[in-house]
Amino acid sequence: MAMWINEDAYRAMSEELSTLRARVGELESQRDKLREALAFYANPKTYEPQGHPQIDYEITAINSDRGKRARAALEECK
């Protein structure tokens, strides 16, 4: 059984599809930003000392960052 729709219904569905595709693109971009921030915190090297292990043991990428990447990613995803 063939089903036909009128031109107005087709236009409305096309507009809705375009809106949904744009939203999917926004969500994918947000996902990528959050994934990048998570990858930073998940990387074991982030917690390794930068410089001399005995003198600079507290200077790590994670200590220098202090959550800045996470806050920035979350802010961009609002």
Q: Is residue 65 part of a domain?
A: yes
Q: What is the pLDDT of residues 15-29, one digit of tens each?
A: 999 999 999 999 999
Domain carrying residue 59: 7-76
Q: Is residue 2 part of a domain?
A: no
Q: Is residue 72 part of a domain?
A: yes
Task: Report, as an integer, the average pLDDT of 37-50.
Answer: 89
pLDDT of residue 1: 57
Q: Is residue 1 part of a domain?
A: no
Cα–chain center distance at 78: 11
Q: Domain count for the chain, please give it.
A: 1
The 3 state secondary structure assigned to the chain is CCCCCCHHHHHHHHHHHHHHHHHHHHHHHHHHHHHHHHHHHHCHHHHCECCCCCCCCCCEHHHHHCCHHHHHHHHHCC
